[in-house]
Structure 1
Amino acid sequence: MSNVSNLLDSKGHDVLTVKPDQPLHDVIDLMCTRLAGTALVMDGGEVKGILSERDVIRKVVLPRIGVDEVTVGDIMSKTLTTVSPDTPLDECMQIMTDKRVRHLPVLRDKQLRGIVSIGDVVKYLLLEKDFKIRNLETYISGSKESASN
């Protein structure tokens, strides 16, 4: 079974990071430009939280707070569920399902290594499964050809 490191090697280690004191409006623009659903909040090289589209909707839009009045630190989620590069992808799926989160920051020794989303994990597992099926089909059809000779 594949792990987070395999997925990150495939998709890349790039992560949108922002600072807690950044104006929310600027970060929303950045997220839209990068087509990112989340941004990791970093301060002094340390992960402090995560900002998601869901945070913006629930903590700013619904209470009708002016987006120009808020910083990232005001609304970021401070409780993070993280994984290591060695975490198996099936375990990631279970964590995301149990904790009802869509993104898992990847840390090793408190250092950010990347981020995986539920979409990343599903896509990778489907590609892996498809690869295994094709290999088995090739093996089976090769075995049939050998048996008929």
Structure 2
Amino acid sequence: MLITQAMTTNILSIGPAHTLRQAAALMSARRVGAAVVADPDAHGHGIITERDVMTAVGAGLDPDAEAVAAHLTRELVFANPQWTIDDAVDAMVRGGFRHLIVLSNGEVHGILSVRDVLRVWTKTSTGVAAG
């Protein structure tokens, strides 16, 4: 199965100047664990995850003062829409991350999360959609 059949296409995209609290509130409202960070002044895309926010807050940083730009991941492995679920899982395990931005010709097409993979695997193995 290709990752395009499992990925989320309704992507939360935020800017690098958002605060960590704003990012957390937006991710919480959308019930997602990551947001794509679009920075017109930087090369490419970044990602901020719930883990990044938690790490900063756990270190005692002020979520109202800290900008997303200071905590996002820029060194990413991007997935190609032609990847299979197995390709994506291999990349996630090797890199130790839970989200992959699916990119083609520099354009974001979706995000694949571990939750998406589990949802697909559950449907495949049981023949019944998971809730």
Pairing 1:127–2:126 present = no
Q: Residue in 2 aligned with 1:3?
A: 2
Query: Which amino acid in 2 is paired with 1:30?
Result: L
Q: Deviations over 1:119-143 (max 9, x none)?
A: 1012112312334xxxxxxxxxxxx
1:1-149 to structure 2, matched below 5 A, reads 2-8=1-7, 12-44=8-40, 47-58=44-55, 60-131=56-127
Deviations 1:94-126 (A, max 9, x none): 111111110000001110000010110121123
Letter in 1 for 2:50: E
The TM-score, its normalising length taken from structure 2, stands at 0.87
Q: 1:47, 1:112 within 8 Å by CA — same for their partners in 2? A: no
Runs of 4+ in 1 over 4 A off after TM superposition: none
CA distance in 2, matches of 1:36, 1:119: 10
The structural deviation recorded for 1:65 is: 1.2
C-alpha distance in structure 1 between counterparts of 2:6 and 2:25, whole Å: 27
Q: Which has the higher helix share?
A: 1
Q: CA deviation at 1:48?
A: 2.4
CA distance, structure 2, for counterparts of residue 93 and residue 122 of structure 1: 10
TM-score (norm 1): 0.77
Native 8 Å contact 1:85 1:107 kept in 2: yes
**Unaligned runs of at least 5 residues, structure 1:** 132-149
SS at match of 1:91: helix
Q: Which residue of 2 aligns with 1:147?
A: none
What is the root-mean-square deviation in Å for CA atoms of aligned residues?
A: 1.8
